[in-house]
Amino acid sequence: MVSSHIFSRVFLLLIKIYHLSRPCDEHGNYLQPDTPPPARTDANPDDWTPFGSHVEFETAEFLYKKVQMSAGDINFLFELWTAYNFQRGGSAPFNNAGDMYRHIDNATLGEVPWQSFTLKYQGAFDPEQSPSWKGAEHVVWFMDPHEVVKKLLANPDFTDGIDFTPH
């Protein structure tokens, strides 16, 4: 009797695994066997949205990510850049550090938007002796991990680089 009970449970588990592992569309409808994946659409190589150009993107990445320049120094650099290009009818890629930060904040990863929430310590503390972080509000920025993973899996750069074999 025990062995048939175990067999039944294992059999039901295998059926669940089979149904959970069946490919489905974005609405959860099961696909027919051998259904090809949906066609991928490649992004326009000249689209640097929300940046206006490749130069704007590279400038922001260099100043913000690589050299981590302060906002004051970024403002000074853009003032010099604008003054230099004024005679030639051009300008700097951004008006100032705030303008550059707005472009960075508007950037998305494969159309997954940034989201945020605010945290504040709720426990008892003495403002005179406790660390300053206990009295401050802290903004946490994140992207929906489920959406990020979906975009990563849809990226053609990873087509031959992901092993879906369970380990």
For residue 4, is pLDDT > 70?
Answer: no
pLDDT reported for residue 7: 61
pLDDT band at residue 112 under the 50/70/90 scheme: confident
**Percent of all residues in the chain with a pLDDT value above 90, rounded to a whole number:** 31
**What would the pLDDT profile of 116-159 be if each residue is shown by its tens digit?**
999 999 999 888 898 988 989 999 988 888 888 888 877 777 77
Output the pLDDT for position 163.
Answer: 73
Per-residue pLDDT, 108: 67
Q: What is the pLDDT of residues 6-26, one digit of tens each?
A: 666 666 666 655 555 567 777
| pLDDT tens per residue, range 31-43 | 887 787 777 666 6
For 154, counting Cβ atoms within 10 Å of its Cβ (0-12 exposed, 13-18 middle, 19+ buried), the class is middle
**Contact (CB, 8 A) for 77 and 69:** yes
Confidence at residue 1, expressed as pLDDT on a 0 to 100 scale: 47
pLDDT in tens, 75-90: 999 999 999 888 888 8
Q: What is the pLDDT of residue 117?
A: 92
- Which pLDDT tens digit goes with each residue over 45-58? 788 888 888 999 99
Query: What are the tokens at 132?
Result: 């300053």
Residues ≥6 apart with Cβ < 8 Å to 137: 118, 119, 120
CA quadruple 134, 136, 141, 145: dihedral sign: positive
Average the pLDDT over 113-118 and give the result. 88
Average pLDDT of every residue of the chain? 81
